[in-house]
Structure 1
Amino acid sequence: MADKIDVTKTLDSYRAKRGEFRILDLPPRQYLMIDGHGDPNTSPAYAEALEALYPVAYTLKFASKRTLERDYVVPPLEGLWTADDLDAFTTARDKSQWDWTMMLLVPDWIGADLVDAAVAQVAAKKAPVRLAEIRLQTLDEGCCVQTLHVGSFDDEGPVLDRMHHEFIPSEGLRMTGTHHEIYLSDPRRTAPEKLRTILRQPVTRD
């Protein structure tokens, strides 16, 4: 069997540096997705979303290893975040306004049939409350700007403000699509000041 694949080491989309805004073009990629609304720190829907995502992701990983002989590390959690007022992200940080889609990348060699089988296998045991809401969907972001934020999630505001209002306009770009975060650290095991999060914004040229 080939070595276990870790997409954070093989895909360019997981490369980012603190203090550097980088422009990159991303190909379409498929994810396990589930939607919700509200403060992720207090919303039961957020916890229930993760309780549904991870069992499917790990069941899928083991199925790939067993049936396709291709093993991989389950990728880091990612999130798409939206709000009617973008200041809810950069200044006010009013998390009660946030809509979100939590996601886990699915390797491109895995098809919908294997995902359906993984969901059915999880359901046959003890189905998470929101299992039926999980979907496999392709995300096509195209041109993006991203950077690495090191620190608490609540300290992202100034970095996003510079990205949105300084770097993106200075490059002749305009924001489009949805704010995207990639959580390289496990907040259960990492001090807030050491959390590593990729911040990504899809853009287009005027």
Structure 2
Amino acid sequence: MEKIDLRKQLKHLYNPPVDNPVFVEVPDFNYLMIDGRGLPDGPDAIAAIEALYAVAYTIKFTIKKEKDIDFGVMPLESLWWSDDMNDFIHTNKANWQWIYLIMQPNFITSSMVEQAIREVSKKKNPAAIEKIRFAQLSEGKAAQIMHIGPYSAEGPNIEKIHSLIKGSGHKFDGAIQKHHEIYLSDPRRIPPEKWKTVIRQPFV
């Protein structure tokens, strides 16, 4: 059986330095996505995450059975912004917009995703299953850092990223080049002070 470890292959994107942000070039990747608005821990976000994982694992086990390929489900990721970016800066979370997403290997097709959605709908029918879409994300140039600790303490590391981008003569529009987080820890099993989160900011 062929085994694929995308996190290992893409280590430079999923294991940045802790102390200082670095520049990376992010290729185009395909994702399972759900769009929403409001609190990161609100019912809509929780429902989105549940549906994404259900479909992601269904795809994994189907490919393992039918194609004899074993690959690990990638970590949950999210994009964040607001129509009025002051709401984002001042943490008015009820007005935040988000996309939760899980990367898929490049051999996964839209028909495979549609099949998995049908299977999950029949077996579990999670609340947000109909909101899942399969799409490509293009980020290109970005700066990123590894944050260790609770999400509420990300501020200083976000500032480091923004300072590096602006200090290098680049810029970004937070509503277009969206704030990106990659969650490497399971918050149900690991205490907040040990959570690992990749914080990424694309720029132009």
* TM-score over 0.5 (shorter chain): yes
Match of 2:189 in 1: 189
Pairwise CA distance, 1:25: 1.0
Pairwise CA distance, 1:85: 4.2
Match of 1:172 in 2: 169
Match of 1:70 in 2: 69
Structure 1: gaps spanning 5 or more residues: none
Structure 2: gaps spanning 5 or more residues: none
Matches within 5 A, 1:23-172: 23-41=23-41, 43-90=42-89, 92-164=90-162, 166-172=163-169
Are the equivalent residues in 2 in contact too, given 1:17–1:147 (CA < 8 A)? yes
* One-letter identity of the residue aligned with 1:45: D
Are the equivalent residues in 2 in contact too, given 1:93–1:154 (CA < 8 A)? no
Worse-matched range after superposition: 115-124 or 9-18: 9-18
Match of 1:22 in 2: 22
* One-letter identity of the residue aligned with 2:152: D
Q: Secondary structure at the match of 2:144?
A: strand
* One-letter identity of the residue aligned with 1:141: E
Once the two structures are aligned, what percentage of the paired residues are identical?
Answer: 41
* One-letter identity of the residue aligned with 1:115: V
Runs of 4+ deviating beyond 6 Å = none
Match of 2:202 in 1: 202
Pairwise CA distance, 1:64: 1.1
Worse-matched range after superposition: 193-202 or 61-70: 61-70
Compute the TM-score of the two structures, normalised by the length of structure 2.
0.93
1:73 to 1:117, Cα distance in 2 relative to 1, 3 A: same
Q: Secondary structure at the match of 1:71?
A: strand
Compute the TM-score of the two structures, normalised by the length of structure 1.
0.92
Pairwise CA distance, 1:88: 4.3
1:10 partnered with 2:32: no
Q: Secondary structure at the match of 1:174?
A: coil
* One-letter identity of the residue aligned with 1:130: A
RMSD of aligned Cα (Å):
1.4
